[in-house]
């Protein structure tokens, strides 16, 4: 039997819908649900093994996507939201009643991810979100109790699901962050030497 990574990817992820305009996220409360509206398509959707992200019960990984903070608005029961860790880079807003993380905002000016919010597409019943494209912070699942002896199996399962495993973020997202840091530091681009035949 294959390892369970996350309920949204265990049987294969669904493709993104063309011209998807966004949707609504809801917490798990039976009444007075916290509702968050997301405009537009999810960016950088991935499964994450870090110990900070909210995971459904029994999941090895969370599933997290990003969007511009201007695309996120709390539309119902904002009074129930509390910041999980006010010292963390990502200020994760969770429902104080059910514990579900609704969105996480990067409010640190000057940080490459300032102006982004992170969210869990699985909290939406709207079909069409971009599927996860990679797995981040894979080794960190050991910190949550995963058996270190099974990490080869975990990485093999992720690849089977089309999710390249990384122990950081994906190369494209790391390049984005490094580019922002270089620009803010006024590092000039330099020509890279090519090897001649």
Sign of the torsion formed by the C-alpha atoms of 178, 183, 188 and 194: positive
* Per annotation, catalytic residue among 48, 65, 106, 113: 48
Q: Which residue has the tokens 């990502």?
A: 90
* Per annotation, catalytic residue among 9, 34, 42, 53: 53
Residues 6+ apart with CB under 8 A from 80: 27, 29, 32, 34, 95, 96, 97
Please state, in angstroms and rounded to a whole number, the distance separating the CA atoms of residues 41 and 112. Answer: 20
Tell me if 48 is assigned to a ligand binding site: yes
Tell me if 50 is assigned to a ligand binding site: yes
Catalytic site includes residue 168: no
Catalytic site includes residue 50: yes
Helix, strand, or coil (residue 71):
helix
* Per annotation, catalytic residue among 50, 81, 90, 141: 50
Please state, in angstroms and rounded to a whole number, the distance separating the CA atoms of residues 139 and 168. Answer: 9
Tell me if 168 is assigned to a ligand binding site: no
What is the number of helices (H) and of strands (E) in the chain?
A: 2, 11
Annotated binding site: 27, 29, 48, 50, 53, 95, 98
Annotated binding site for Zn(2+): 27, 29, 48, 50, 53, 95, 98
Return the active site residues.
Answer: 48, 50, 53
């Amino acid at each position: 039997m294959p390892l369970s990574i996350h309920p949204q990817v265990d049987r294969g992820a669904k493709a993104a819908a063309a011209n998807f305009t966004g949707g609504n996220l809801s917490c798990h409360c039976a009444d007075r649900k916290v509702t968050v509206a997301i405009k537009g398509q999810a960016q950088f959707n991935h499964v994450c093994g870090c110990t900070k992200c909210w995971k459904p019960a029994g999941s090895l990984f969370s599933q997290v996507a990003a969007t511009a903070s201007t695309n996120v608005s709390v539309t119902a029961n904002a009074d129930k939201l509390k910041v999980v860790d006010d010292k963390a880079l990502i200020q994760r807003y969770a429902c104080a009643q059910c514990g579900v993380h609704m969105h996480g905002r990067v409010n640190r000016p000057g940080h490459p991810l300032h102006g982004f919010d992170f969210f869990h597409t699985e909290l939406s019943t709207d079909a069409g979100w971009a599927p996860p494209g990679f797995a981040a912070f894979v080794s960190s699942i050991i910190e949550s109790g995963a058996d270190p002896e099974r990490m080869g199996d975990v990485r093999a399962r992720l690849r089977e699901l089309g999710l390249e495993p990384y122990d950081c973020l994906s190369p494209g997202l790391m390049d984005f962050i490094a580019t922002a840091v270089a620009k803010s530091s006024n590092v000039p681009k330099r020509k890279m030497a090519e090897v001649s035949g």
